[in-house]
Amino acid sequence: MRILRQHNSRPAEGTRDFAALRRQMVNTQLAARGIRDPDVLEAMSTVPREVFVPIDRIEFAYADSPLPIGQGQTISQPYIVALMTEALELSPDDRALEVGTGSGYAAAVLSRIAYEVYTVERHPRLARAAEAQFQRLGYDNIRVRVGDGTLGWAEYAPYDAIVVTAGGPGVPAPLQEQLAVGGRLVIPVGASPDMQQLVRVRRISREDYKQENLGGVRFVPLVGEAGWNP
């Protein structure tokens, strides 16, 4: 069993027992629905989702559903975050790239397993808010950038794992190019911005990739040069 990174979470707000709600989420929404990776379950049980949702939605922090976070974006339901994280097959030495920081919750989960996490968000307000929460929690292995995530973050490539938290018309070529040989890329892909298939791409060699279909999902559109037009 690998040892996950430690963190400092803020105290529970009011009288809500968020730790108990978190344990219940892991048991009923994740483990009971097939999430098996012990590191993913541990990360989901330690990252305080309540600090990544808007204050007026905090009572729904551990509901089995996505929540709006502003700028037309959402924080994905816990099960989807766990499913995509598990599909990445992370190891403690991995360098991971996330496209679409959003609230910052998924990057926080990744950071409890991977060695380094790089995350790109096109909305400056969301990026800055997420970065502030990472600093508050002491998650010092996450770097945030404002920009077009469909182009990746070439400066720190190659990545052992890349996850895209929005649905694109295809797998962006820049992300495939920034994937290390042996690396995994998980992304929702579909001909319509409203419905996608979750796919995992493995880089087999410098030129060869293998793609697997992991099932139907629904994400906000992936906007950018290698995604949907703004």
* Domain boundaries along the sequence of the chain: 18-217
Four-way CATH pick for 18-217: 1.10.357.10, 3.30.565.10, 3.30.1780.10, 3.40.50.150 = 3.40.50.150
Residue 200 near residue 223 (C-beta atoms within 8 A): no
**What pLDDT, on a 0 to 100 scale, did the predictor assign at position 5?**
52
Confidence (pTM): 0.91
Average pLDDT of the residues of the chain = 93
pLDDT at 6: 47
Parallel, antiparallel, or unpaired: how do β-strands 195-203 and 209-217 relate?
A: antiparallel
Q: Summarize pLDDT for 123-159 with one digit per residue, the tens.
A: 999 999 999 999 999 999 999 999 999 999 999 999 9
Q: Are 211 and 63 in contact (CB under 8 A)?
A: no
Q: What's the half-sphere exposure (Cβ side, CA atoms, 13 Å) at 178?
A: 25
Q: In sequence order, which residues have a C-beta less than 8 Å from that of residue 95 and are 6 or more positions away?
A: 114, 115, 116, 118, 156, 158, 159, 160, 161
pLDDT at residue 11 tops 90: no
* Those residues with Cβ within 8 angstroms of residue 130's Cβ, 6 or more apart along the chain or in another chain: 52, 101, 102, 103, 104, 107, 119, 121, 144
Out of 9, 45, 65, 76, which one is annotated catalytic? Answer: 76
Q: Is 103 a catalytic residue?
A: no
Judge whether 102 and 72 are in contact, CB under 8 Å.
no
